[in-house]
């Protein structure tokens, strides 16, 4: 059966785009944003969910640009929230240090998968479509988890 599907996907140009499905994970960030009364964060993640699904469905220049706008707005807003949280701390607690380490680790992991992958044609930019898709899904999951922690700070 897998051989038949592989033949179909290879010869018709159709692909099972895992990134479309993994984009729905960002809806958990929308819910978390609403729960923690971080309404701008929730709105930004709702926009990212929409642009990500549309972009991974159609792959046009316009959808790519819109997806990047949503992505960078979340990166900058998350960075701002993270920075202001650290700056406004009178005393640093051990549990917060672990949260900060987790946030930085998730961010650097995503940067590594994307940037190093771009430079070496690996991970997200792997020449095999399915492998590249799976690493992109991993990026969606890691970034979602990292932003969940930022939302909860």
pTM of the model: 0.85
Residue 148 within any structural domain of the chain = yes
Give the domain extent around 126: 17-152
What pLDDT shows up at residue 12?
A: 42
Q: Count how many domains the chain has.
A: 1
Q: Which helix (H) or strand (E) holds 49?
A: helix 39-58
- Quick one: pLDDT band at residue 8, thresholds 50, 70, 90? very low
User: What are the pLDDT digits (tens) for 70-105?
Assistant: 999 999 999 999 999 999 888 878 888 999 999 999
CA–CA distance, 60 with 51 (Å, rounded to integer): 11
Q: Is 62 helix (H, G, I), strand (E, B) or coil?
A: helix
Residue 5 within any structural domain of the chain = no
Residue 9 within any structural domain of the chain = no
Residue 10 within any structural domain of the chain = no
Residue 3 within any structural domain of the chain = no
Residue 12 within any structural domain of the chain = no
Q: What are phi and psi of 59, to 5 degrees?
A: 55, 55
Residue 140 within any structural domain of the chain = yes
What pLDDT shows up at residue 93?
A: 83
> Which residue, among 71, 70, 80, has the nearest Cα to 38 in the 3D structure?
80
Mean pLDDT of 22-35: 98
Mean pLDDT of 126-132: 92
Residue 116 within any structural domain of the chain = yes
CA–CA distance, 119 with 95 (Å, rounded to integer): 36
What pLDDT shows up at residue 15?
A: 54
Percent of the chain residues past pLDDT 70, beyond the cut:
90
CA–CA distance, 3 with 9 (Å, rounded to integer): 10
**pLDDT exceeds cutoff 60 at 50:** yes
Under 8 Å CB-to-CB from 134, ≥6 apart: which residues? Answer: 18
**pLDDT exceeds cutoff 90 at 1:** no
Q: Which helix (H) or strand (E) holds 91?
A: none
């Amino acid at each position: 059966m897998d051989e038949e599907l592989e033949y179909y996907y290879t010869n018709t140009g159709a692909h099972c785009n895992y990134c479309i499905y993994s984009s729905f994970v960002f809806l958990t960030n929308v819910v978390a944003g609403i729960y923690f009364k971080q309404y701008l964060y929730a709105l930004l993640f709702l926009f990212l969910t929409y642009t990500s699904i549309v972009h991974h469905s159609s792959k046009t220049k316009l959808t790519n640009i819109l997806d990047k706008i949503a992505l960078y707005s979340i990166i900058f807003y998350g960075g701002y929230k993270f920075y202001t949280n650290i700056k406004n701390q009178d005393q640093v607690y051990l549990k917060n240090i672990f949260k900060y380490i987790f946030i930085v680790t998730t961010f650097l992991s995503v940067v590594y998968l994307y940037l190093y992958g771009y430079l070496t044609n690996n991970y997200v930019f792997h020449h095999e479509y399915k492998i590249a898709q799976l690493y992109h899904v991993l990026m969606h999951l890691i970034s979602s988890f990292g932003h969940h922690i930022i939302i909860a700070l």
